[in-house]
Amino acid sequence: METAAERIDLLSLDREGLEALAVKFGYKTFQGRNLLKWIHKHGVIDFEAMTDLPQRLRDQLIEQTEIRVPEVVFEQPSNDGTVKWVVELHDGQRIESVYIPEEGRSTLCVSSQVGCALDCSFCSTAQQGFNRNLTAGEIVAQVWVSAHRMQLPVTNVVMMGMGEPLANFDAVVTAMNLMQDDLGLKLSKHKITLSTSGIVPALNKLREKSDVCLAVSLHAADNALRDELVPINKKYPLEELIPACKEFIKNDKRRKITWEYVMLDGINDTNKHAKALIRLLEGVPSKINLIPFNPFPGTDYKTSSPERVDAFRNKLMKAGLFTVTRKTRGDDIDAACGQLVGRVQDRSRRQLRRVNSTKVKAPSTATGKPLNGEVR
């Protein structure tokens, strides 16, 4: 018998992977597809309950594989129906997922990494530093856990939780394939959105591998300001990012890029900034998502006033740019954008560096709040 560490992690295998596994165990590929259906469509993790699999195959699965379902260690419902889960992985690392119910749909905000290595100056996950990538199984499991706890299927997935999805490319693509699989969750490409800060080479590669919706964290329309807010811009500046985004949607006239733009008081929210944004996006099929900044302890940034957000939005709309202001959901539970903070064991030692920096004070946890009420 193999030890747990050597077992094959079934949740990390997509259709191809499960078919290959069935063949490896001496069966036809369709048994792999059956397995996929049991796990992802029916949410069954007990091999003995997979009644149409041959008994010997079930025995092999029991002996050599596992379906690693992470444990929810903390559940916090918000006043508006949003629910945050802190999910503990097998190595004790914690990530967060947020369930957002809306009229006729339920969206899950999914994490792709433990922490984040990108250091965007207005994001509280960034302050936690980075520990590791999630496996495809750990990404998909968040959807699985949500469906089980809510007893409702997830209808939309946004890769907007902790982490930069394109910095964990293979696992994220495998997980999104599983979410789309007809035998699994069967989410259409229109119901999955990957949000990126703009890692251009990975974006170009994604074009070949996936046709999910793309959201890009723009936040500034000129390089100098974007360098400050989204430092990865120094490596992949706007003159590389914008063409790569255009290329991403060029084969389908109905597709648009969603541009995320956090509204920071006095930093990127003036009429001058709106004009620069209009100029930058000329000719790019776009939808703009204005996100009121969610403050967190230790940050110097302030949220733009609702009047400023409205004025900014009107200016963009007048120029023909479809713009919505994102409703802040779950902000009473630190589950809004940029507030998804688990307890990350920081491998980049960023928190330590920040203690010595004057700009951001190092909080004891990034939200400044202990994770009270944890159920273990």
Q: Which of 195, 258, 351, 367 binds ligand SAH (CB under 6 A)?
A: 195
Residue 262 sits in the site that holds ligand SAH (CB under 6 A): yes
Q: Do 14 and 170 touch, CB atoms closer than 8 A?
A: no
* Binding map of ligand SAH across residues 231-260, x = CB under 6 A, - = no contact: -----------------------------x
Binding status of residue 217 toward ligand SAH by CB under 6 A: yes
* Cβ closest to ligand SAH, residue 83 vs residue 337: 337
If the CB atoms of residues 36 and 277 are measured against ligand SAH, the closer one turns out to be 277
Spatial neighbors of 355 by CB under 8 A, at least 6 apart, are 362
* Beta strand pairing call for 83-88 and 71-77: antiparallel
DSSP state of 41: I
Using CB under 6 A, count the residues that bind ligand SAH: 17
Which of these ranges, 131-139, 249-257, 287-295, 361-369, lies near ligand SAH under the rule CB under 6 A?
A: 287-295
Does the annotation flag 109 for ligand binding? Answer: no
Distance CA 159, CA 167 (A): 12
DSSP state string for 196-216: ES--HHHHHHHHHH---EEEE
Q: Which is nearer to ligand SAH, 180 or 197 (CB)?
A: 197
Q: Which of 34, 293, 342, 363 binds ligand SAH (CB under 6 A)?
A: 293
User: 182 — phi, psi (to 5°)?
Assistant: -55, -30
- Tell me the C-alpha to C-alpha distance, in Å, between residue 127 and each of 139, 219, 244: 22, 18, 28
User: Taking the complex as a whole, how short is the minimal distance between the CB of residue 333 and ligand SAH, in angstroms?
Assistant: 14
- In the set 78, 174, 180, 294, which binds ligand SAH (CB under 6 A)? 294
Among 57, 274, 291, 366, binds ligand SAH (CB under 6 A): 291
**Does the annotation list 294 as a binding residue?**
yes
Question: Shortest gap between Cβ of 76 and ligand SAH (angstroms)?
Answer: 18
Q: Is 131 annotated as a binding residue?
A: no
Number of C-alpha atoms within 13 angstroms, CB side, residue 56?
4
Shortest Cβ 185–ligand SAH spacing (Å)? 21
Judge residue 104's burial from the number of C-beta atoms within 10 Å of its C-beta, 0-12 exposed, 13-18 middle, 19 or more buried.
exposed
Question: Do residues 49 and 58 touch, judged by C-beta distance below 8 A?
Answer: no
Strand, coil or helix: what is 226? helix
Residues known to be catalytic: 96, 337
Q: Which is nearer to ligand SAH, 31 or 146 (CB)?
A: 146
According to CB under 6 A, which residues from 125 to 164 bind ligand SAH?
Answer: 160, 164
Q: Which long-range contacts (CB under 8 A, 24 or more apart) does 61-67 make?
A: 61/10, 61/25, 61/35, 63/1, 63/2, 64/2, 64/7, 64/8, 65/7, 65/8, 65/9, 65/10, 65/21, 66/4, 66/7, 66/8, 66/9, 66/10, 67/10, 67/11, 67/39
Distance CA 31, CA 262 (A): 47
DSSP one-letter code for 4: G
Options 40-48, 288-296, 305-313, 345-353: segment touching ligand SAH (CB under 6 A): 288-296
Name the minimum Å distance from CB 29 to ligand SAH. 35
When the beta carbons of 89 and 288 are compared against ligand SAH, the nearer one is: 288
Which residues of this chain interact with ligand SAH, rule CB under 6 A?
Answer: 120, 122-124, 160, 164, 195-197, 217, 260, 262, 291, 293-294, 337-338
Residues flagged as binding site for [4Fe-4S] cluster: 116, 120, 123
